Structure 1
């Protein structure tokens, strides 16, 4: 009945044109609607993967019934989808939620100061495997086996990573005042990920009583659909687009 795409990059959901393509730069300037609709003669929709994850959670997941929420997708970078007043907020240029581009204070800003780098799940796994001496530095199973065992050689690396995400959440919450934030991406299948992010978030609030007394604590949970959230959200976008 239709074809639904979820992809990185800035996506105009009306035209299907992808700008830059994120980690898939060859998609820059491509309209998947124009590429596939004439060929298959059926509805085609395209949406950014982070925004798709938010749609999935709003539709059938852990943001269902939430008027103001956020889905954070931890992968190569940090994707996100913002829900405001019960709807996906894309922004004037379809780039709302590109939290990979949020930057930390630095005298000489570089890519390393972007949350898309320090919040990258891929980078986390590589760092852990470097310490472990794992042959395949991309081996997520080996990395999380050690993390779940709280291996003292690598658990501090994981704690630092979770703190980075927690700091990002503090900044976002100060701006948007959300009800609930859900964590997605491949590593979200590990309960320890959301658990440690929540722990670090609460620790930050404890260390800054003025913040805790002023800003209401946001609920932090995992995405119900974990790494499949972007696929289900792409389907929901198709259903909305085809009405």
Structure 2
């Protein structure tokens, strides 16, 4: 049975797992992400890979940043800027003499949904990851779109408020679940502004102050979906991120999309609404998606990758 070593590089944790070609996790673990520098970070990854020496037929990596999937080079690196310029082929493929792949974390999550989740067999659609900003991926013709510069689907860069002169007017901030939670907790007088549980306790209880902020946020997300729908004409929009576990999130986003469709005649009568659903994968999405990227890279549309 072929097995693959998969790394999910995050700003907080370095997750890793061994999976077979069907997407079954054989074992998984995580360690705090080393942030002191590139060599120390690589040493941690090498130590993990060495512990599985001879057991894996390939290495798949998910990480933040703009990813050149053709040449397997990381650019920028998000919260880990020392990853900028890292060549995964040279540092891992040549070292371990196995096929390697590297994919942006948001796109990896979308690939997981395409392979085994809510975007399976969807010809056109998109996934929105609602976290500190808005990430995700766009599917057209049954393929994940990377774009000429590997930045397709980076929805955070869409300008939302044309009258705003700073980053707060961009989709990344308007669709930020973290910012919404902070606003709710601040309005309620909670000491921990990042406490999502407290914020949603108030939202689910119907607190008027919390609900007003939450409803406005869901309308912003609905506006983002509407804008993307005008370009992609997707059959389905998959919502991911920690807040998607709350049933009220998908429900309210749908309600706010319907509100906009009624408010603007041509939207309601000419632009077909996509199905808006919750992502099936949660914490392990990037692991499954990174593996799928590797299988596609090595085998194309093979039986293993379907």
Output the TM-score relative to the length of structure 1: 0.93
Name the structure with the higher helix share.
Answer: 1
Q: Give the secondary structure class of the aligned counterpart of 1:226.
A: coil
- How far has the Cα of 1:43 moved from its partner? 2.9
Q: Give the secondary structure class of the aligned counterpart of 2:284.
A: helix
Tell me which residue corresponds to 1:48.
104
Tell me which residue corresponds to 2:136.
80
Name the structure with the higher strand share.
Answer: 2
Counterparts of 1:200 and 1:6 in 2: how far apart (Å)?
33
Tell me which residue corresponds to 2:243.
187
Counterparts of 2:234 and 2:209 in 1: how far apart (Å)?
36
Give ranges in structure 2 of 5+ residues lacking alignment. 1-55, 300-306
Counterparts of 1:34 and 1:190 in 2: how far apart (Å)?
42
Q: Give the secondary structure class of the aligned counterpart of 2:219.
A: helix
Tell me which residue corresponds to 1:153.
209
Give ranges in structure 1 of 5+ residues lacking alignment. none
- Listed as ranges, the matches of 1:1-243 within 5 Å are 1=56, 2-243=58-299
Aligned CA distance change for structure 1 residues 155 and 25 (closer, same or farther; 3 Å) = farther
Deviations along 1:51-98, one digit per CA (max 9) or x if unpaired, are 111111111111111100101111111002111111111111111001
Q: Give the secondary structure class of the aligned counterpart of 2:239.
A: strand
- How far has the Cα of 1:228 moved from its partner? 2.9
Counterparts of 2:207 and 2:91 in 1: how far apart (Å)?
49
- How far has the Cα of 1:108 moved from its partner? 4.5
- How far has the Cα of 1:3 moved from its partner? 2.6
Counterparts of 1:185 and 1:212 in 2: how far apart (Å)?
28
Deviations along 1:156-194, one digit per CA (max 9) or x if unpaired, are 111111111100111111111111110001111112111
Counterparts of 2:185 and 2:61 in 1: how far apart (Å)?
32
Q: Give the secondary structure class of the aligned counterpart of 1:154.
A: helix
Counterparts of 1:212 and 1:95 in 2: how far apart (Å)?
30
Count of aligned residue pairs for this structure pair: 243
Q: Give the secondary structure class of the aligned counterpart of 2:209.
A: coil
Counterparts of 1:198 and 1:98 in 2: how far apart (Å)?
22
